Each structure stands twice: as C-alpha cells, then as structure tokens.
Amino acid sequence: MSKANRLSRSLLILLICSIFFMSFTAMASYPKTITDTQGREITLDNAPEKIITRSPDEARTVIALGYGDKLIAGEQATKSCLCPMTFDNTAEGCIDCFESIIDGRMPDLPEISTRYDIYFEKIAALKPDLIFCGNLKDAEAFEDKIGCPVVVLGGQGWNFGEDGYYNSIRVAGQALDAEDKADELIAFAKGKVDMIESVTDGLKPEERPKVYFASRGAGAGFYDPKEGRDFTRTEPKYDPLSMAGGINIASEINGSTVNVALEQIIAWNPDFIFISNSDAGNNTGLEFIKNSPELSSINAIKNGNVYNCFYPHCRGTPPDRNLLNMMYMAKVLHPEEFKDLDLEKEGNEIFKAFLGVDGVFTEYADYLVWPREYLDSLK
C-alpha cells in the first residue's frame, strides 16, 4: 500500500471514529431530566430528532442553538416573524433569509397553530420527539393530547436578565444537549448589552431624556378598539429603552403591556417619543402623532423628537429586534456618545447569531424603508 493510500485510510478511520465518538457522546447524555422555566421536571429519553415549536420565539431559540435541522413544524407566523416578512405574503420582506434559513425549508414548514388555534391532530401525525412552548397552559394541553415531552421556555425577548430570556436559552440548551452553544448565545447578547450600558451607566440623571414608547405603533391613531391598542399602549418594563439611556415615563405603572390615557401622556410631557413601526414604507402613524393638535404641547412634538422604532412584538417578543431597538434608541437619544456605533453592522451580527443567516438587517432596513432612511441621514 502506498504512503498516500495509507494516509487516506488513516484519515478515513479517524473521521469514522470522530463521528462514532460524537454520536456516542450524544447518546450517553440521555436519558436526562431537566427543569423548565416553570419548575417542571421533564425526562427526555433520547436526543430529539423531530422538534415542534408553539411560537416563533421558541423556533428562533432552537435555530440559534444549532438545531434548526430538527425543526419539523411551527406556528403560522414563524414564516413571517423569524425573517421579517409581510404577514401572509412571503414576496415582501427578507426574502434571501426566508429562502435560506433552516436549509431552505421555511417556505414548506408545516403550520401547526395560529394565534388562536392549535391543530393537535396534525401535530400527533408528525410524531414529534419534543415540543417547546411558552406557557404552562399550552404545555398541559400538549402533554394531554400529544404525549411527547413538552418544555416551557417562556421569557420575554426584551428581558435581558438571568430570570428572563437568558434562562429560556439555558433551559433550551439543556434539553437539546447544547449547553455550550447556549452559553455562547447568552454571552453574545450580554456583550451587546454591555457595549451600550458601558456608556449609558455613566450618564447623569439629567442627561437621560424622558421617553414615551408606543409599543404597538399608531397605525390606527390613538386607540384601535378592534385590537384594544395603538399609540396609548405601552410597556412599563422595557429593558432596551432604559439600557439605551432613556427614562421610561411609564415605568412606575405596575404590570406589563398597558393602555394609558392620552391625558396622562400629555401630563408626562416626554422629551422623545418612539413609535413601533413594522409597516413597510408607511409612516402614517408617525405623521399622525407629529401633527396631532392634542399633543402639540409636548416637548417631543415641539422639538421634533418623534421617531419610528423596531416593532418589539411578532407573536412573541423577538430578542434580535429588541437588541436592535436598544442600539437604535441609544443612537437617537445620545447621538454624540454613539456616533461610532455602526447599526447596520451590529444588526447583521445580531440576526446572524439568532438565525444563522448573513445580511438580514440589511434586507430588513431596505424592506421597512424608515431604517434605511435613518441610516442614510447619518452619512
């Protein structure tokens, strides 16, 4: 046998041994018992090969941890929420991302639930090994009707704390035998937060402007009776805003996701207003608020400090877009301190970490229009 052939054979044996070792290591980790975010103990007999997620948030976590190839079905909005798209129209939005994520399977990914309904028979027919969901009610329904292990991840994608989204990542990592990858993802998110807070933590109280955050936009004006929300809907506990160096004027309200009276917003007299906007090329809400006679006495209106921002919801609370809001708000509120922060570069890095796809923010900015206009205004 020639020296070259012996070398090739040795490399082949080494490869086979490596594959066997990795497979054995994965098998050796199971069965395992983990504790989910609700304190429930779940036993997993084998490494999951077929995973179903109840909402886009859980799907995003599965993909970020490197298990997108095991994702066999998801909630209806998964197709429009992961790679930002116009809902129910995959011809508008981050098309390159949509066509390449999870090995190009997103267009044909089966839909097993909607905002209101869960298709239990369809789920049972897919025979999942593991289901991830966001709350206890769904978990109990899945366990009763499907019978496979169900892990509750929970956690809001704008709560960047150990008891919030980081814990969700950690639990998912344990279930998937991907603890190292989970630690890397948490460290990545913490790194972005630390980059902003290393500046804003040093601000004096008087250097922090008062901000009103319209977390559901203003597309229907002040209030949409059909959805029960719009400009008067806000988030008293919105980490990205406080991390960005702003004072959330609604922060003293108890609870989360609340409607406030228009008179209260006027009395608060914010210095800045952020209006969530995911409606591509449409500034109706922004213009309505800027030109509203009712709000003309507010400092933010008088000084022209009314801005679009990234929508913090999408059948959940996407952490990638909320990290983007933190950076974008920091640049708007403190332009001198963050003049060197490259939002497009950072945005692409954030989406890559969660979706495994390059250039998503660039697509997103072009699709929404207003982020591209903002970036162009900085040149």
| pLDDT tens digits, 7-55 | 556 655 655 655 554 444 445 689 999 999 999 999 999 999 999 999 9
For residues 108 and 68, state if they share a domain.
yes
Can you tell me whether residue 68 is helix, strand or coil? helix
Q: Specify if 1 maps to a domain.
A: no
pLDDT in the model for residue 6: 56
Neighbour count for residue 260 (Cβ, 10 Å): 17
For residues 168 and 207, state if they share a domain.
no
CATH number for the domain that contains residue 245 = 3.40.50.1980
Q: Specify if 133 maps to a domain.
A: yes
pLDDT in the model for residue 1: 54
For residues 173 and 237, state if they share a domain.
no
Beta-strand (E) ranges in 230-300?
233-234, 247-248, 258-259, 272-276
Q: Specify if 142 maps to a domain.
A: yes
pLDDT in the model for residue 19: 53
Residue tagged 């109840």 (tokens): 54
> Which of 179, 214, 237 represents a domain boundary (last residue)?
179
For residues 165 and 212, state if they share a domain.
no
Total structural domains within the chain: 2
Please, are residues 92 and 85 in contact by the beta-carbon 8 Å criterion?
yes
For residues 210 and 131, state if they share a domain.
no
31 CB burial (10 A radius; 0-12, 13-18, 19+): exposed
Q: Specify if 24 maps to a domain.
A: no
Packing angle of the helix pair 95-104, 360-368 (nearest 10 deg): 150
pLDDT in the model for residue 255: 86
For residues 113 and 198, state if they share a domain.
no
Q: What are phi and psi of 303, to 5 degrees?
A: -100, 5
Running along the chain, 379 residues long, what does each successive block of 10 average in pLDDT? 56 56 58 97 97 98 98 98 94 97 98 96 98 97 96 95 93 98 98 98 97 97 92 97 98 93 97 98 97 97 98 97 98 98 98 98 98 97
For residues 123 and 259, state if they share a domain.
no
Q: Specify if 6 maps to a domain.
A: no
For residues 204 and 279, state if they share a domain.
yes
For residues 69 and 157, state if they share a domain.
yes
> Which of 114, 144, 179 represents a domain boundary (last residue)?
179
Domain that holds residue 90: 30-179
> Which of 147, 179, 211 represents a domain boundary (last residue)?
179
For residues 74 and 223, state if they share a domain.
no
| pLDDT tens digits, 219-260 | 999 999 988 899 999 999 999 999 999 999 999 999 889 999
Q: Specify if 341 maps to a domain.
A: yes
pLDDT in the model for residue 347: 98
CA 184 to chain centre: 17
Q: Specify if 241 maps to a domain.
A: yes
Q: How far apart are the first and last CA of the chain?
A: 65
Q: Specify if 224 maps to a domain.
A: yes
- The amino acid present at 130, given as its one-letter code, is L
For residues 149 and 264, state if they share a domain.
no
For residues 95 and 198, state if they share a domain.
no
Cα–Cα distance for residue pair 68/176, rounded to 1 Å: 11
